[in-house]
Amino acid sequence: MAGAAVPSRETSRTIEVEDLVALVRNYNPRSDGDLIRRAHEFGRRMHEGQLRRSGEPYFTHPVAVAAILTEMRLDDASIVTALLHDTVEDTKATVEDVAAAFGTEIAELVNGVTKLTNLQLSSSEAKEAENVRKLLIAMSRDLRVILVKLADRLHNMRTIKSLVPDKQAAKARETMEIYAPLAGRMGMQGMREELEDLAFRILNPEARASIIRRFITLQRETGDVIPKITADIRAELERAGIEADVYGRAKKPYSIWRKMQEKDLAFSRLSDIHGFRIICTEVPDCYRILGVIHQRWRAVPGRFKDHISQPKTNGYRSIHTTVSGRDGKRVEVQIRTRQMHEVAEDGVAAHWSYRDGVRAQNPFAVDPARWIASLTERLDGDEGYDEFLEHVKLEMYSDQVFCFTPKGDVIQLPRGATPLDFAYAVHTDVGDACVSAKVDGLRVPLWTRLKNGQSVEIITAEGQRPQPTWIDVVVTGRAKASIRRSLREEDRDRFVKFGRELARVAFENVGRRVSDKALTTAARSFGLSHGTELLARLGSTEISARAVVEALYPELAQRAADEVDARRPVAGLAPGQPFHRADCCQPVPGERIVGIRYPGRGVIVHAIDCLALGELEDQPDRWIDLRWHAGRHTAVHAVSLRLTISNAAGVLGRICTLIGEQKANISDLQFIDRKPDFYRLIVDIDLRDIEHLHLVITALEAESDVAEVERMRDLDRKP
């Protein structure tokens, strides 16, 4: 853009027209030098007298943009478009003038770049989606328009210091949000990294300087490890008789900073801050090299990707592996052929690259038309362009992820979100009925952390309702609020019913009966409006039954706190009469019980709702009316719980700790099923009473790695 100039030390080396022609002819000897010279003269004449903010002649910018495109070995039309890309916007020249002088193809390219320049892509106004729609249209007509615009943005970012700070920040944000991710999606990783680093320099100079200082300190302490590791790799390849080029480099400051933010790691804890590329001739050599690397150095589990057998949509092919190198330091190694490397450097632009005067026949270069189709295949009608904006920004937001529904709709979520968050983002009813999920076609646990660009399918079932454990699984406020609301509505009756039973037991322990008046009085002491709310809080363990009794009958509660003799916890038996708890129902103090006489075995104590009692209804002479002694029982009453937990490091330890925190003891533990993702096990826990059992179950249900908790009542374990 033309404008008043402020002299600056930051200037660009002037590239003469013959230098530019020579740069093009280095890769395309058949280039039309006269066409480039005419375009250079036309642009120079149109921009005559215009200066950049730095004080340089304005035309140095279009020439520099053209020079950047020569690094991609682009055709003459692209080079000429770069030389003319600002003439229609900033000079008296028109599209018709360009068409008359250079033909329709170049005029359309220049017009396309002009329209892109006028788009405020990072605007927060409603027209943003329409602007991105125009971006998409420009890309679909001729991708070279985007290549010129990316080169234009790269040169502007290289010379951004001449702008005032506010404009620097705005342009840097737009670069970080739009242009750098777009370059990455086109496979132009080198340009993406430079754009990111230039924007990072403006947006967070302190962080960038800090990382560079740490690099310098690390290099001073350990020496430059890059030439050492490069030499090690070359020596191993020579011993294997494989010819290949080996290059090493430190990763860009922004790449390191982003990893530090995503993984919440200090610089000293980062491992693979150095990367190495091995460039060979044939595809079979790539796999031979991989074998050599893994034989010499230990591979890091989970850090291997084969993009040769599974290439990216933009044509990118390479093998990635991370190994423990010198002194146990992790290094990333990329292995690819020379043709793959060209595509890796230039991305979709490789389709237009020339070599020795002819269009390069790179078998890995992607047809731009097919690439555009793959990029836009999910978009349907005008509504899709809103989503395309998120699609373009996909990889850039460090605090957000963007995932797709099976229909291609984009769902925006915070980083760390799970399929459950995704389900509730689609609709509350979908979240409430969610039973499982598929990510990229594979079934995953509901606590899986989603990544950018994944396709998520939510599987629902009629009758399914939210589980208490979901609160710890989700991270979005919408999901948490929906789950809590549903749990309150659905569990209220259950909590009230269970709370009434807990209150009954607690009141009976002090020789009192539960009444609505007593509950209302106790509710007021806890700041609640009525007794039903108190019962709901009791049932959800927010308030303990003992606290309610203490609020009404403090002296009686103190006497009831005396411990019951664990050897005779049951009242109603004859002196010395032998008894034991039934294995089938495992009753605990607080539950209503009945005794059944068994010849030669004494009395077996069952819970009153035990299914085994159904077989004894016609034998009333064997039944004995029993009850638990009032007071505090010792935690010696074993109850079996069936758990389903995730198969992950440390989960079982956390569960055991959780049970211990509830003052319960694990007396036995048995695995009954082992799957790659889940374990099923039976845990025997020694408990005091029914309230103690409820506390343990509630604590386990709240643990995100516990999928299911079930109290075992097994008729196969009859007395």
- CA proximity to 207, closest of 219, 192, 193, 197: 197
| Count of CB atoms situated within 10 Å of the CB of 361 | 8
b/e burial code for range 435-465 (CB count within 10 A of at least 16 → b): eebebeeeebbbbbebeeebebbbeeeeeee
Q: Which run of H or of E encompasses 669? A: strand 665-674
Secondary structure class of 642 (helix, strand, coil): strand
Angstrom distance (rounded) from CA 207 to CA 210: 5
Q: Which residue has the tokens 């125009």?
A: 134
Distant-in-sequence, close-in-space partners of 26: CB < 8 Å, separation ≥ 6: 70
Angstrom distance (rounded) from CA 274 to CA 600: 77
Q: Which run of H or of E encompasses 458? A: strand 456-460
For 606, the token pair is 């069952």
Q: Which run of H or of E encompasses 298? A: strand 298-306
The amino acid at residue 506 is A
- CA proximity to 255, closest of 237, 267, 244: 267
**What single DSSP character describes residue 347?**
G
The amino acid at residue 587 is P
For 559, the token pair is 């006497």
Identify whether the C-beta of residue 349 lies closer than 8 Å to the C-beta of residue 365.
Answer: no
The amino acid at residue 537 is R
- CA proximity to 112, closest of 78, 65, 154, 74: 78
Angstrom distance (rounded) from CA 698 to CA 469: 9
**Cα 239 to Cα 234, 245, 282, 331, distances in angstroms:** 9, 14, 18, 21
The verdict on whether 130 is a catalytic residue reads: no
| Count of CB atoms situated within 10 Å of the CB of 319 | 21
Length of the chain (residues): 719
Identify whether the C-beta of residue 591 lies closer than 8 Å to the C-beta of residue 607.
Answer: yes
The verdict on whether 90 is a catalytic residue reads: yes
The amino acid at residue 497 is K
Q: Which residue has the tokens 């008046």?
A: 517
The catalytic position among 89, 306, 472, 684 is 89
Secondary structure class of 581 (helix, strand, coil): strand
Distant-in-sequence, close-in-space partners of 522: CB < 8 Å, separation ≥ 6: 531, 534, 548, 551, 552
Identify whether the C-beta of residue 267 lies closer than 8 Å to the C-beta of residue 278.
Answer: no
The catalytic position among 56, 75, 76, 90 is 90
Q: Which residue has the tokens 């979520």?
A: 413
- CA proximity to 579, closest of 597, 602, 596: 602
Q: Which run of H or of E encompasses 43? A: helix 33-46
The half-sphere exposure of 438 on its side-chain side, counting CA atoms within 13 A, is 8
| Count of CB atoms situated within 10 Å of the CB of 665 | 13
The residues that are catalytic are 89-90
